[in-house]
Amino acid sequence: SQTIHQWPATLVQPVGSPLSLECTVEGTSNPNLYWYRQAAGRGLQLLFYSVGIGQISSEVPQNLSASRPQDRQFILSSKKLLLSDSGFYLCAWSVQCFSGNTIYFGEGSWLTVV
């Protein structure tokens, strides 16, 4: 069966520090991969998605970047964090093609920028 893991689960970072959140998917090949953010008191917003290695699409302009160095690895990064980057970050995957396919989410990572 397929599983998705992301880490770290919780982190507190000072303003201006770098960020790296990692996500891996097991049990499937060539998945679509996604990073979502859930800001406090707000809904989920799609940040990035990827349909293949090295292929990244950004949905909103921001202080963050994403990379996909391997088929089942998706990394969310920042060179210098802002206070507004605080939130709950969720990695997700889905099978390629067909919009009716379910998107499966990881456990999430709580980021607090202080």
Partner 1 sequence: GNSVTQMEGPVTLSEEAFLTINCTYTATGYPSLFWYVQYPGEGLQLLLKATKADDKGSNKGFEATYRKETTSFHLEKGSVQVSDSAVYFCALANAGGTSYGKLTFGQGTILTVHP
Q: Which of 7, 13, 28, 46 binds partner 1 (CB under 8 A)?
A: 46
Q: Which of 19, 25, 34, 64 binds partner 1 (CB under 8 A)?
A: 34
Q: In the bound complex, what is the minimum distance in angstroms from residue 82's beta carbon to partner 1? A: 23
**3 state SS of 9:** coil
Structural contact between residues 109 and 9, judged by C-beta atoms closer than 8 angstroms:
yes
Tokens for 95, please give them. Answer: 């099978």
Nearer to partner 1, 33 or 75 (CB): 33
Q: Which amino acid is at 79?
A: K
Q: Does 35 bind partner 1 (CB under 8 A)?
A: no
Neighbours of 57 (CB within 10 A): 11
- Footprint on this chain of partner 1 (rule: CB under 8 A): 32, 34, 36, 42-46, 49, 51, 57, 59, 90, 94, 96-108
